[in-house]
Amino acid sequence: MSHTTAETGTLQVRANGEDFIRQGFVSKDGWSIRFDHVYLTLADITAYQADPPYDAHTGGEIQATTSVNLPGPYLVDLAEGDENAEPILVATGAAPAGRYNALSWKMVRATEGAASGAVIVMEGTAEKDATTITFRIALDQEQEQRCGDYVGDERKGFLAAGEVADLEATFHFDHLFGDAETPMEDSLNADALGFGPLAALAEDGTLHIDQATFMIALASEDYAKIEHLHLAHVGEGHCFAVEP
């Protein structure tokens, strides 16, 4: 950690799966999806006072006068709590006062516990017409996310001495399944896999699948939608994904 002032406060980093995870939603192809658990493992979380401001569309390294590292790893369940739960507190640390306008983290494979061997594990149920599927979907593609300023109804990252400020890693799972409430011609739905191609792989109402199986079982154009999946944001702000 480097700093330009002796005045410090407390910086919190939260993870948010949004109402899609907490309350469930209908996929672009009509499956009603509810989640029991959505595990992911974050590591090497770093908050920055970036100068110049980081442009996630351009990518590259984040240039900063001050940075605070919270190394982890941290196993998070985005579905923890009820449908009105707050975003999950992942990490807390002392930090120099100032304006934190960039955030990075790594999404890594868990080494133990419910998500061992996977980066993201989604567990829940999907229903359509008279069919119910209990699923466990594991993705193992590690990435580093480099993100600019949080975009949302409230500004984040303003840390005053002796105070608390928070930053948010946001995950948009409608980018995987699509969203029935969004126009079908929207790029969100055009680029999303939906749930139908996964439902077709279920046996006796159960789907347990990992990324290696996806590669074999899905059509190449469908697997590409998983391989190039980009869930990570900062609110509605964008992130630049770096493959290891």
pLDDT score for 12: 97
86, pLDDT greater than 50? yes
H helical segments located in the chain: 18-23, 174-177, 187-191, 196-199, 211-217, 220-227
**% of residues, the chain, pLDDT over 70:** 98
Tens digit of pLDDT for each residue in 132-169? Answer: 999 999 999 999 999 999 999 888 999 999 999 999 99
Residues 6+ apart with CB under 8 A from 204: none
Task: Name the average pLDDT for the chain.
Answer: 94
Which residues, 6 or more positions from 17, have their beta carbon under 8 angstroms from its beta carbon?
35, 38, 78, 79, 171, 173
Return the closest-CA partner of residue 198 out of 222, 231, 180, 178. Answer: 222
- What's the confidence (pLDDT) of residue 6? 61
Residue 3 has pLDDT above 50, yes or no: no
Residue with tokens 């100032």: 98
Structure confidence by residue, pLDDT tens digits, 12-69: 999 999 999 999 999 999 999 999 999 999 999 999 999 999 999 999 999 999 999 9
Domain-wise residue ranges, the chain: 8-242
Q: Which residues, other chains included, contact 188 with Cβ-Cβ below 8 Å and sequence gap of 6+? A: 174, 175, 178, 179, 182
- Give the pLDDT score at 243: 82
Separation of alpha carbons 169 and 174, rounded Å: 16
pLDDT at position 4: 44
Residue % of the chain over a pLDDT of 90: 89
